[in-house]
Structure 1
Amino acid sequence: MNPADNSIWLSEAVKGMKKEVYSNKEYDIFEEQPDNLYISLCNTAALFPGKFALVEQERQVTFKQFKEMVDRTASNLYSTYGVRKRDRVALLMVDSIDFCICFYALAKLGSISMH
């Protein structure tokens, strides 16, 4: 890395990235970024279905399992509780696999998680 370069990324890591300015600060971002967090999960689950996505004590969840749980939870939130895009939903949960499932389910629905 060039010492004059203020980037936090190594030169190999910034391939396929571009600079964008938000609030007068420049950031390195991926040019082909997913539309939302759920799309990122779908892409990762397709590439690495058997790899562990989440590990919590004795519980381990692969990316495929994680996506399936997120889909079921999003469906339940939508059909049973009427959660829709732009709804604000409070997540009063400890950091856990279940929290991650709910967080991603809300992202799939386009809802806003409040925690």
Structure 2
Amino acid sequence: MGERNIIDLLHEKCHLHGNKTFLLFEDNNKNSFEFTYNEFLQMVNKFSRVFINFGIYKGDKVTLHLPNSSDFIVCWFALAKIGAIMVPTNVLSTASEMEYLIEHSESVMLITEEANCDVS
């Protein structure tokens, strides 16, 4: 890819194939999600602005504790767009494994689902 990064490549593909399917995803409940290149780029741009509004910048590490999903991919690309570093985790990790990873990853943010939060 030379000097280009994954976001440069996405922009190039949007220019060439904007209305073609980029992502087709089916979750565990058999719900399907389909996004064109242009729709996907719009979501990436929106989420990158959200991250910036939360104070996430180039070089920051953000832990993604999400199952395989379209949300995971959008977050990954949005972080790449602003130059932040995605720290992926396994949703089957134990609490102690997550604690170790979070303490040692230097992450400034954790993104997960509500079901993984102990709000008691």
Same fold per superposition (TM over 0.5): yes
Q: Which residue of 2 aligns with 1:36?
A: 5
Secondary structure at the counterpart of residue 51 of structure 2: helix
**Counterpart-to-counterpart distance in 2, 1:106 and 1:65:** 17
Gaps of 5+ in 2: 27-31, 89-120
Q: Runs in 1 of length 4+ with deviation above 6 angstroms? A: none
In structure 2, the partner of 1:12 is none
| Letter aligned with residue 49 of structure 1 | G
State the distance in 2 between where 1:94 and 1:36 align: 25
Greater relative contact order (Cα < 8 A, sep 6+):
2
Letter in 2 for 1:72: K
Identity of aligned residues (%): 29
Partner of 1:48: 17
The TM-score with structure 2 as length reference comes to 0.66
Q: 1: CA distance between counterparts of 2:4 and 2:58?
A: 14
Alignment partners' CA distance in 2, 1:94 and 1:40: 25
**Higher helix fraction (1 or 2):** 2
- Whole-angstrom distance in 1 between the partners of 2:76 and 2:5: 12
- Number of aligned pairs? 83
| Structure 1: tracts of 5 or more residues without a match | 1-29
Give the AA of the match of 1:102. Answer: C
Partner of 1:97: 70
CA distance in 2, matches of 1:104, 1:65: 13
